[in-house]
Amino acid sequence: MARDKLDGETITQALLKVPEWTLAEEGCAISRTFEFRSFNEAFGFMTRVALAAEKMDHHPEWSNVYKTVDIQLSTHDAGGLTELDFKLAEKIDRLSGH
């Protein structure tokens, strides 16, 4: 199921599809930092991610400082990474245009 916690090997495989994302040391989350040309672009990106996240009912932990957006994905209910996190990461990568 999409919300089942993934094992280490599955995570290693899943990371190959989103190579720009970094696995947290504990293996419970993945993160990526995005840089844009302006706040306008950064927040525009966040809005597109917010709509996608709401549709998936799976939300990022994220912060924004001017042109920079830091995103961390994890599934708290599962206590680690699930298929949903990697699906959202792929979607975010596409939305970022990076």
Site residues (CB under 8 A) for a copy of itself?
39-40, 43, 46-47, 50, 53-54, 59, 61-66
Contact (Cβ atoms closer than 8 angstroms) between residue 3 and residue 74:
no
Q: How far is the CB of 22 from a copy of itself (least distance, A)?
A: 18
DSSP assignment string, 27-90 = SS-EEEEEE-SSHHHHHHHHHHHHHHHHHHT---EEEEETTEEEEEE-BGGGTB--HHHHHHHH
Nearer to a copy of itself, 12 or 39 (CB): 39
Given the complex with a copy of itself, which of 17 and 59 has the nearer CB atom? 59
CB of 87 to a copy of itself, least distance (A): 17
Q: How far is the CB of 33 from a copy of itself (least distance, A)?
A: 13
CA-wise closest residue to 23 among 78, 67, 66, 86: 86
The residue among 5 and 48 lying less far from a copy of itself, judged by its C-beta, is: 48
